[in-house]
Each structure stands twice: as structure tokens, then as C-alpha cells.
A and B are shown apart, each in its own frame.
Chain A
Amino acid sequence: NAGVTQTPKFQVLKTGQSMTLQCAQDMNHEYMSWYRQDPGMGLRLIHYSVGAGITDQGEVPNGYNVSRSTTEDFPLRLLSAAPSQTSVYFCASMRTENSPLHFGNGTRLTVT
């Protein structure tokens, strides 16, 4: 199993541009989520999904959209990038709400 795969690893955007961060898992996990990590802030939940077709907001959802059309994929869309979205983004998955959470390797995003 590849586990949780995120692409790209690095990305630089200009203010106002849009992009999609990709996340895929091959463990047949129902639960998937996106976190952002900023210095001194720990990890904050952006959006999550408990299964295909079901998504919900986390702590910091503004400026981001998600969809879950398949069990495997959970892309994160930035609609109009802002410098405040400069961060490291992690995708994660777990089998059920009461099982270990597994992370991808992260995407480092810089918005200028």
C-alpha cells in the first residue's frame, strides 16, 4: 500500500490564483481530512469527510472547498489564493472515527 499520497510537494502561487491540492489513499478508509500547519499553531482542521459524497467543515474552512466523489480521493481547492494561506497542508485518513489517523507527506504552499 502507498498509504496517503499528496501532490504536489511544493507549490508557489500568486495572490488570486486558484489551484487544487490532490490527496489519494489506497487503504479503503472512510474518513479523510485536510489540516494546515502554521508555526506555533499546531495542526488545524480545514475540512473532513466521513465517506463518499459527505463533507463537512473544520475549524478553518474559509477560502477552501472540498469534494469526495470517490472513497479514494479528497482534493482541496483554493478558490482565490491569499498570502494568509501560505502554510503546509496535510491530508490524512483513518478507517473509522475510532482508529489511527495516517498522514500524507504534506504540501508546502507559498502565496506571494
Chain B
Amino acid sequence: GIQVEQSPPDLILQEGANSTLRCNFSDSVNNLQWFHQNPWGQLINLFYIPSGTKQNGRLSATTVATERYSLLYISSSQTTDSGVYFCAVAQGGSEKLVFGKGTKLTVNP
């Protein structure tokens, strides 16, 4: 099956810093999503982005499907951005979303 690798596994920032999280996948996909799991365990959908670029406030994401990677950018990070960020992908014709192991982000005040 398709493999999903996220990097880095852990990231520690000071408030106000910018960061880039990466998601690599092993095969072509027609579905790619980014999620944030907050410290209370809730999973929030950030982006549905099988290709192209999207922005939502301080967060933006870019997927280059032909090169099999996606990037999540967080600008001017805040302590509330702390948590684990997951990338999930599905191949064409499949409803099975496969998750990476996540990037744990800690933003210190």
C-alpha cells in the first residue's frame, strides 16, 4: 500500500517563528488532507489539498502531486498551534485515507 512519511517528527519553536512541515508519499494520490490534533486530542481538518496551494490565515499548504510531496507552512506561530500535525492521503479510486505518523509541534511562549 501507499506509504506516508512526515518530517520532522518533532519541532520546537519560540512564539512568532515560522515553520514548514513536510509530507512525502510513495504513489500518486487524488486525496491529501492535513489535520491538527490539539493537546486535548481533538482532530481538526486544516486543508483538503490534493494539488495546488491554499491559505487559511497564518496557515498555508502546497501539494506538488507530480513530485509526491506536500508542505504545511505555519507563520508567526502561537502557543495554540502546539499539537500534532498529520498528513493523510488516498489513491485514486480509494476511499481509504492513510495517515502519516505526524509531526509534534511545541510552541513555547
Contacts and interface: CB of A to CB of B under 8 A. Distances in A.
B41 A45 contact: no
B65 to A, nearest CB: 13
Contacts of A98: 30-31, 48, 50
B58 interface: no
Contact of B97 (A40, A88, A101, A105): A101
A58 B90 CA distance: 12
A100 B48 contact: yes
A50 interface: yes
Contact count band on A: 20 to 34
B43 to A, nearest CB: 4
Contacts of A50: 95
A74 interface: no
Contacts of A105: 41-42
A35 B88 CA distance: 12
B41 A101 contact: no
Interface in A23-51: 31, 33, 35, 40-45, 48, 50
A40 B99 CA distance: 12
A101 B45 contact: yes
Contacts of A42: 86, 99-102
Given A88-B41, A90-B43, A106-B41, A45 B31 contact: no
Interface of B: 1, 30-31, 33, 35, 41-45, 48, 50, 86, 88, 90, 94-102
Interface of A: 31, 33, 35, 40-45, 48, 50, 58-59, 88, 90, 92, 97-103, 105-106
